[in-house]
Structure 1
Amino acid sequence: MLPPTSWASFGGRLATDVVECVDLTVHPERLAEPGPWFVVVDFEAYGRGGRARAWRFAHAVDEARPPVAGPWRGPRPQDWHSSLDRAAYEAAVARVREHVREGTVYQVNVCRVLGAPLTGGAPDVEPDAAALAARLAAGNPAPHASAVHVPASTGVDPVWVVSASPELYLSLDAGRLGSGPIKGTAPTADGLTPKDRAENVMITDLVRNDLQQVCAPGTVAVTDLLGVEEHPGLVHLVSRVHGRLAPEVAAAPDRWRRVLAATFPPGSVSGAPKSSALRIIDDLEPTPRGPYCGAVGWVDGDRAELAVGIRTFWWADGVLRFGTGAGITWGSDPAAEWHETELKAARLVGLASTR
């Protein structure tokens, strides 16, 4: 059997046969209609030039794997280039430290985008997203792995995203809203520092405040703080925050507009205070992040699961891209932060490259 032309997957849920694409900045109320809807929101969405889109599919099956076609053929390792080289990235870290010293912010996530030319072999053939998803699943399994591929040939607004995200942005189940911010990365648990723990607590408090804007008073709580999670090649500090949607938000047709307005972009990939951090990010980063650090996932009725778009590849205009970054505080060392971005990228870029 031939693989489906258009498909999306997330955490064992597979959807096929795209029906339509909706601009969520214009019609967020459409997410209240029957799905399944698969969502990709750019980091720059909502007033900063990016896109927020949702694709409705005709069919969905749980406990299914993404379709697998042929072997993955990625770019050569030497073809990857960074939007910020080491000197420029370390200079950006130093500039954030100046902002912290001046009292503008407490923390800013500074990222760079890697890119390499890649085609599907012929001018009108897109790379095989299912093949890359399968390679990542085998070499870097992730709790919130996802992929969305709607080719341009379908006549629907196209998208090509493959993610091995370990981070939960938002979950919704029968009115209970949750988030799982990650801050703190090291090769092993012994490498986690007091700076990592302080940063995680700071961002967890930011996420708690975000959820309080749309949850009923007194229901938002940190249910797990500074948990250590092991992932291939590294460990993360992860906290959990939950609350119950306020009745007026849960009943609103545009509840997702309200939820996204309160929580997006995710605090773990922006900074604190969020508004000041975003202004600094726009000043320091030369390339839009796109789906990286945005949101990828699904919405279906009163249930949803959205990941933070980290450890994420996206393809457009003949270029495969991948983002990597680090949270910068007053305690940051520029060289160490550069090495953290290298650590986060090394395994996945290696898997996506053809040797």
Structure 2
Amino acid sequence: MTGDTGWAQFAGRFATDAVECIDVLAEPERLATGTWFVVADFEAGSGTHPEGRARAWRFARVHDAAAPSATTWHGPPHDAWTSSMDQATYEAAVARVREHVREGDVYQANVCRVLSAPLTGSSDTERGAEPDARALAARLAAGNPAPHAAAVHVPARTGLDPVWVVSASPELYLSVRDEQGTGTVVESGPIKGTARTPGGLTEKDRAENVMITDLVRNDLQTVCRPGTVEVTSLLEVEEHPGLVHLVSRVRGTLSDDVVRSGELWRRLLAGTFPPGSVSGAPKSSALRIISELEPVPRGPYCGAVGWVADGEASLAVGIRTFWWADDGAGGVLRFGTGAGITWGSDPTAEWHETELKAERLVALASTGTESAGHR
């Protein structure tokens, strides 16, 4: 069975038979050759949560084709989800960020919560197997198609570092590609601003997007040739199932010393990770505030997932992302949701934004047809 030896899919590439796993922060030069599928935790490289890792798996077979059909997904009951922060706690965190803004510590900080549900009793876990990530990926593809959808599953029984991540991300973190006559181009597509319809987008959403677009522009300037970083589109409205986003695009040409030094991925990650749209501005201050307010680590949520192949890459921001971990009793499925907080934020409205981002995907991942709730 494909899942027994590990598999991954992203951007039209499907890989099977995992053969090795590396620590990207320790050996970034390894990404220069071969095809690797990457999962980086939001906390990777941070001393706040030392469990945060950035890993990449190389597979024996990589195809430019869709993944094979999967079996039926067996999710948790729709009422089994719990949240790392209830509404009152989340709204208090929003109020605290607004205090930091007033005090001049930060302009914006992303505050997230993690939903979790046990998978005890599913047919996979009853057999002692890990849940079928392909089945969830297929369910999300049918019910919530996303431009940067991804899945990586390497079971523990392979003997490699295991991973189980399924994402329906709409957001580009980084693409890297060679352009004839230009050089090696890096591009990012930050998303800030979410509503059910275009008419629901506010001036706060637009200001939030402009702040983060400027942050991403500054991040890319640390690795690009002077004068090449530009905002190619600003505040475009993208429609996705059940909601809309404001999306901007920033690109630049990588400096020759970054490309040729063998330090490309060390420099890229040092200059741009974690993604600005899911941290805040200034990034260092936002990360400090996030570590104070959020009670649990984000894991791969808000990190990065995608592929790196022979000097080119496509990595998504790990939003709209599920991850599973074994707890010895069927395991726990998790999903993150959050919102960008500015001075113009209303705490209750921000809570409802996190609900909006979660409701469709959590419903798809749950048993039954009821709207998925969480308490």
TM-score, normalised to structure 2, is 0.93
- Shift of residue 29, structure 1, vs aligned partner: 1.0
Separation in structure 2 between the aligned mates of residue 254 and residue 17 of structure 1, nearest angstrom = 28
> How does 1:1-355 map onto structure 2 within 5 Å?
2-5=1-4, 6-33=6-33, 35-48=34-47, 49=50, 50-62=52-64, 64-119=65-120, 120-122=124-126, 124-174=128-178, 175-317=184-326, 318-355=331-368
Q: Secondary structure at the match of 1:299?
A: strand
- Shift of residue 25, structure 1, vs aligned partner: 1.8
Deviates more, 1:8-17 or 1:164-173: 8-17
> Does the 8 Å CA contact 1:66/1:133 hold for their aligned counterparts?
no
- Shift of residue 3, structure 1, vs aligned partner: 3.1
Q: Deviations over 1:306-334 (max 9, x none)?
A: 00000000000200000000000000000
- Shift of residue 118, structure 1, vs aligned partner: 1.1
Q: Deviations over 1:132-185 (max 9, x none)?
A: 000000000000000000001111110000000000000000110000000000
What letter is aligned with 1:309? G
What letter is aligned with 1:350? A
> Does the 8 Å CA contact 2:70/2:138 hold for their aligned counterparts?
no
> Does the 8 Å CA contact 1:3/1:68 hold for their aligned counterparts?
no
Change (3 A) 1:285 1:123: farther
What letter is aligned with 2:83? S
Q: Deviations over 1:101-160 (max 9, x none)?
A: 000000000000000001532363100000000000000000000000000111111000
> Does the 8 Å CA contact 1:15/1:36 hold for their aligned counterparts?
no
Residue-pair matches, total: 352
Separation in structure 1 between the aligned mates of residue 260 and residue 323 of structure 2, nearest angstrom = 34
- Shift of residue 24, structure 1, vs aligned partner: 1.2
Separation in structure 1 between the aligned mates of residue 211 and residue 117 of structure 2, nearest angstrom = 35
Q: Secondary structure at the match of 1:74?
A: coil
Separation in structure 1 between the aligned mates of residue 15 and residue 343 of structure 2, nearest angstrom = 44
What letter is aligned with 2:16? T
Separation in structure 1 between the aligned mates of residue 118 and residue 66 of structure 2, nearest angstrom = 28
Q: Secondary structure at the match of 1:313?
A: strand
- Shift of residue 68, structure 1, vs aligned partner: 2.8
Separation in structure 2 between the aligned mates of residue 196 and residue 47 of structure 1, nearest angstrom = 29
> Does the 8 Å CA contact 1:294/1:308 hold for their aligned counterparts?
yes
> Does the 8 Å CA contact 2:39/2:54 hold for their aligned counterparts?
yes
What letter is aligned with 2:36? W
Separation in structure 1 between the aligned mates of residue 322 and residue 261 of structure 2, nearest angstrom = 34
- Shift of residue 69, structure 1, vs aligned partner: 2.9
Q: Secondary structure at the match of 2:217?
A: helix
Separation in structure 2 between the aligned mates of residue 67 and residue 87 of structure 1, nearest angstrom = 43
- Shift of residue 4, structure 1, vs aligned partner: 4.4
What letter is aligned with 2:23? D
Identity among equivalent positions (%) equals: 74
> Does the 8 Å CA contact 1:148/1:160 hold for their aligned counterparts?
yes
Separation in structure 2 between the aligned mates of residue 68 and residue 82 of structure 1, nearest angstrom = 32
> Does the 8 Å CA contact 2:3/2:154 hold for their aligned counterparts?
no
Structure 1 gaps of 5+ residues are none
- Shift of residue 61, structure 1, vs aligned partner: 1.0
TM-score, normalised to structure 1, is 0.98
> Does the 8 Å CA contact 1:32/1:254 hold for their aligned counterparts?
no
Separation in structure 2 between the aligned mates of residue 122 and residue 262 of structure 1, nearest angstrom = 44
Deviates more, 1:218-227 or 1:122-131: 122-131
Separation in structure 1 between the aligned mates of residue 213 and residue 12 of structure 2, nearest angstrom = 27
> Does the 8 Å CA contact 1:106/1:271 hold for their aligned counterparts?
yes
> Does the 8 Å CA contact 1:4/1:67 hold for their aligned counterparts?
no
Separation in structure 1 between the aligned mates of residue 35 and residue 128 of structure 2, nearest angstrom = 28
Separation in structure 2 between the aligned mates of residue 335 and residue 200 of structure 1, nearest angstrom = 20
Q: Secondary structure at the match of 1:297?
A: strand
Across the aligned residues of Structure 1 and Structure 2, the Cα RMSD in angstroms comes to 0.9
Separation in structure 2 between the aligned mates of residue 152 and residue 68 of structure 1, nearest angstrom = 22
Q: Secondary structure at the match of 2:79?
A: helix
